[in-house]
Structure 1
Amino acid sequence: MRKTLSAALLILALAACAGPAAPPDAFYRIEPGAPAQRLSKPALPGVLEVNRLAADGVVAERALAFARDGVLAHYKYDFWSEPPGMLLQDRLAHYLAEAGLADRVVTPDLRILSDWVLRGKVRRFEQIAGRSEVAVELELSVVGARDGRLVLLRTYEARVPTPSERVEDAARAMEKGATEIFARFLADLARPAK
């Protein structure tokens, strides 16, 4: 009887420790739509190389980040398909190529001699918990590859409301924020120099 009781208690204890299964991991992409404007002639003639955007700390991780009361954290089961710096580099290069900003838009892995270099930093890429919005902040610059001349250096910020606190809504809002920033960056570069 004692052995049976001990075995039953052991089984109950193990069952209590098991708990529910962890939710499956979810992965998100950034897919900005086509540019609203297509330039009739390239604002940056030649080849534009788009480097990977730098990112530090929580913003550099694949897990989606959120801020609550000024404290940054990240979700345990919700991830970007790639680290944000790499994800945004790829999408920005594609966006600028479609807009016709340069004759060719490439990334460094092609090892092509470029005329212009785009560098940047992801400063914020997070959900603001409790406020139903996201914050996207990118510092973007373009310099001449041969002479180092600064063409543009600007920090762009977008705050986009979300319909709920769900992670899926936050990911869609961050995509929208990135698209807004890409459009403003393109407009600044397309504007004739004074």
Structure 2
Amino acid sequence: MRNLSLIAALAVTLAACAQQAPPKDRFYRLETPPVAARFAAPALGVIEVSRPTTDGVLSERPLAYQDGDGTLGRYRYDLWAEPPTALLQNALVDSLRLSGISHTVITPETRVPPDWMVRGRLNRFEMLAGAGKVVANVELAVVSSRDGSLLLLKTYQVEVPSAAGPEAEAAALTQASGDIITAFIADLGRVAKP
């Protein structure tokens, strides 16, 4: 009887120690938006697109959200495939190439001297949980590599309604990024001189 009690106690202890496996990590990408403006001829020379800068939570891969009290949090198992700044850089490069505004669009890693440099700062890229929307805020600048003159400097902010949850947030932030990139290319087309 004593052995039976010992085995039962051991079984209860082991059952209490057993934990459920954590959920699987889920990864999200930013899809390149369809290009609304296609230029008949390149208006700019070689454009170099750098990775935007950012700080804190936005420099990490977990999807971020803002609680009703204004504090930022992040999902534990829902991640961007790369940091948001890298995803935004890739989407900018792809969209600029598709638009035809330049005959060559590169990143700094190619080590080719550019005519123009696109620099940026990612200020916001999160779900506003209490408001049912996402917000993306990016400052973008286009600077001459020859003389440092500024061709374009603008802060773009887009808010997109979104259901709660990381999947809906990722989709809404993809849409917001696409809206920002579309507006940026349109603005760049207005100030570029062929």
| Structure 2 counterparts to residues 76-91 of structure 1, below 5 A | 76-91=76-91
Which residue of structure 2 lines up, in the alignment, with residue 61 of structure 1? Answer: 60
Contact preservation (8 Å) 2:43, 2:192: no
Contact preservation (8 Å) 1:43, 1:189: no
Which residue of structure 1 lines up, in the alignment, with residue 132 of structure 2? Answer: 132
Moved more, 82-91 or 31-40: 31-40
Which residue of structure 2 lines up, in the alignment, with residue 100 of structure 1? Answer: 100
Aligned-partner residue type, residue 119 of structure 1 = R
Match status 1:143 vs 2:143: yes
Aligned-partner residue type, residue 173 of structure 1 = A
CA deviations on 1:162-182 (whole Å, 9 max, x unpaired) are 1x2021111000000000000
Which residue of structure 2 lines up, in the alignment, with residue 52 of structure 1? Answer: 51
1:93 Cα offset (Å): 0.6
Match status 1:10 vs 2:10: yes
**What do you get for the CA RMSD once the two structures are aligned?**
1.5
CA distance in 1, matches of 2:11, 2:108: 57
CA distance in 1, matches of 2:10, 2:181: 59
CA distance in 2, matches of 1:14, 1:144: 66
> How many aligned residue pairs are there?
192
Which residue of structure 2 lines up, in the alignment, with residue 180 of structure 1? Answer: 179
CA distance in 2, matches of 1:12, 1:57: 44
Aligned-partner residue type, residue 29 of structure 2 = R
Moved more, 11-20 or 134-143: 11-20
1:193 Cα offset (Å): 6.5
CA deviations on 1:90-148 (whole Å, 9 max, x unpaired) are 11111011001211000111111110000001111111112221010101001001111
- Give the TM-score taking structure 1 as reference length: 0.94
Aligned-partner residue type, residue 173 of structure 2 = M
- Give the TM-score taking structure 2 as reference length: 0.94
CA distance in 2, matches of 1:101, 1:6: 77
Contact preservation (8 Å) 2:151, 2:191: no
Contact preservation (8 Å) 1:32, 1:176: no
CA distance in 2, matches of 1:2, 1:145: 84
Task: Structure 2: give runs of 5+ residues left out of the alignment.
Answer: none
CA distance in 2, matches of 1:193, 1:112: 21
Contact preservation (8 Å) 1:130, 1:165: no
Contact preservation (8 Å) 1:123, 1:138: yes
Aligned-partner residue type, residue 140 of structure 2 = L
Contact preservation (8 Å) 2:59, 2:84: yes
Aligned-partner residue type, residue 176 of structure 2 = G
The percentage of aligned residue pairs carrying the same residue is: 46
